[in-house]
Amino acid sequence: MKTIGIIGGGQLGLMIIEQAHLLGARTICLDPAEDAPAFALSDEHIVGRFDDPQALEELCRRSDVVTYEFENVPGDLLVSLEKKYNIKQGFKPLFDSQDRLREKSNARDHGLQTPAFEAVDDAESLRRAVERIGYPCVLKTRTLGYDGHGQAVLRSTADLPKGEALLSVPCILEEFIPFDFEASVVLVADERQVICFPVGQNIHKDGILDLCIVPAAMDESLRERMMEQSKRFMRDCGYRGILAIEYFVKGEEIYFNEMAPRPHNSGHWTIEGATTNQFRELCRYLLDEPLEEPRLVAPTVMKNILGQDLERAKALAAENLPDVYVHIYGKTVSKPKRKMGHVTFVGMTGEEYRTKWADEFVK
């Protein structure tokens, strides 16, 4: 029986473990929080910091294969461990995704269309970049931002002070794309093939993913182009394992936004809405098993559950409704904008969700 080591013990780790167990594997995960959600299911766990070389080494030593559930694993430590242990996805996709400037440059260099962008390090370089890109534009920290944190939309010179407040760290200025909608693609690759889950349409609220609607409402030729260019990008970059790519869609144009070499929030719907799911296919890759091409079971809507909706989600779980699947992550502290779970509605369109369910949750 193989043991999968997971760097990180959050909800993604929890759902990786669920699928690993179904495939007959053991798990061990590392997280600094003693109450990390994944610890409830993992066969073993280590309480330790992600930048602690000894803790990381212990995790790798006790595992047959190692993966990560978030991007911010210290690169220098992972590079040295990769030479000694089976970190099967390798460091490259992680490295490429850890810095937005490097990420955008890599996407552009491999044939994906991106918004115009410029590196920004100080107030003067911000002004020069704004002159070249124009208003409106978006200033983002190059590392560590997520769920709308670490960024500011600049619409005129009056917003420059707001942007300068971010410049204590290196930043990137990007062209603002007035997109019609955001879409995401989740892929898993091994040495033989790249599988691609159906394209989802993402709706955000306050910078945090609120809904993922599958299939995304888009022309079939555009959908095929998005999936094919994503597969080509993954092959050309030499990536293996799992990769999620977010795109902005504007008319017939597709713009790369960002990527993540781990299971993705916009792919949680796959657990019930597809014939296989993102966590299972990652585990198949890690365990050297053949990948399964996914198919959509039925139109599906996934609703993220933040702290303000946790009690409603728990009540919904108790109702045990058909084709309504409630996942509560088991986090011990609930906060209004913290992801506490998700609900998947299988056999439901986005319009049906808005009519029947939208008012059930906090606006």
**Residue 84: Cβ-neighbour burial (10 angstroms; 0-12, 13-18, 19+):** exposed
User: Is residue 100 part of an annotated ligand binding site?
Assistant: yes
Q: How many CA atoms lie within 13 A of 321 on its CB side?
A: 16
26 phi, psi to nearest 5 deg? -95, 165
Element at 164 (helix H, strand E) = helix 160-164
Give the full edge-to-edge strand order of the sheet including 171-175: 117-120, 171-175, 137-141, 151-154
User: Is residue 174 part of an annotated ligand binding site?
Assistant: yes
User: Is residue 134 part of an annotated ligand binding site?
Assistant: no
User: Is residue 219 part of an annotated ligand binding site?
Assistant: no
User: Is residue 339 part of an annotated ligand binding site?
Assistant: no
User: Is residue 201 part of an annotated ligand binding site?
Assistant: no
- The span from the CA of 47 to the CA of 269, in Å, is 30
Helices (H), 200-288: 220-237, 270-273, 278-286
Task: Return the ∠ at Cα 329 (arms to 325 and 331), rounded to 5°.
Answer: 150
Buried b (16+ CB within 10 A) or exposed e, 86-96: ebbbbbebbbb
User: Is residue 145 part of an annotated ligand binding site?
Assistant: yes
Buried b (16+ CB within 10 A) or exposed e, 303-321: bbbbbbbbeebeebbeeee
User: Is residue 151 part of an annotated ligand binding site?
Assistant: yes
Ranges assigned E (strand) in 63-199: 65-68, 117-120, 137-141, 151-154, 171-175, 181-189, 194-196
User: Is residue 204 part of an annotated ligand binding site?
Assistant: yes
User: Is residue 176 part of an annotated ligand binding site?
Assistant: yes
Q: Are 183 and 203 in contact (CB under 8 A)?
A: no
List C-alpha distances in Å: 79 to 74, 76, 201. Answer: 9, 5, 35
The closest alpha carbon to 165, from 179, 175, 178, 151, belongs to 151
User: Is residue 82 part of an annotated ligand binding site?
Assistant: no
List C-alpha distances in Å: 190 to 178, 196, 283, 299. Answer: 35, 12, 12, 28
User: Is residue 292 part of an annotated ligand binding site?
Assistant: no
User: Is residue 57 part of an annotated ligand binding site?
Assistant: no
- Going 196 to 70 to 316 to 22, the CA torsion angle's sign is positive
Binding site listing for ATP: 100, 140, 145-151, 174-177, 182, 204, 257-258
Binding site listing: 100, 140, 145-151, 174-177, 182, 204, 257-258
